[in-house]
Amino acid sequence: MEGDDVAGIEMRARLAVVFEQEISKQEALVGSASTGSQHAPSYEERRRWPRYQVHLRAQLLSGAGSFDCTVIDLSEGGAQIDVAEPIPLSAVAVLNMEDGATYVARRRWVNGTRAGFEFTGPPLVSSEP
């Protein structure tokens, strides 16, 4: 197995724990009832990977410097972060998560103190020992 395959498996295993917890919370809120109505898929339903609300401390390293931030939602393909105040963000940054995982990420959008980043590949450093 190649290194990229192992890193991808490690990332999915780490995220699976977060995903499982969030799915359990959502199922408890929604229950198993269905409205049976048909509708156009929402933006959330068209996402490549589901996003889950989290609260993880992280550090964002960009061309403008190093900034403490909070990851407020996470998916297999990216993260939404919140910083204390609006900051200039470069197009590519490194996101160091509190659990030790490190990702290279591409900035997709910025709105005030929040920004969305797409991971450009598997983690550079995994949170697994």
Express the helix, strand and coil content of the chain in percent, nearest 5 each.
25, 40, 35
Per-residue model confidence (pLDDT) at position 10: 53
DSSP string over 61-91:
EETTEEEEEEEEEE-SSEEEEEESS-----S
Mean pLDDT of the 28-52 span: 53
Confidence of residue 104 (pLDDT cuts 50, 70, 90): very high
User: What is the residue whose two structure tokens read 């939404």?
Assistant: 80
Tokens of 53: 């609300």
Check residues 105 and 51 and name the one with the higher pLDDT: 105
15: left (phi over 0), alpha (psi -120 to 50) or beta: alpha
- The pLDDT tens digits of the residues spanning 109-127 come to 999 999 999 999 988 876 6
How many of the other CB atoms lie within 10 Å of CB of 110? 16
Report the percentage of the chain scoring pLDDT > 90.
44
Confidence of residue 15 (pLDDT cuts 50, 70, 90): very low
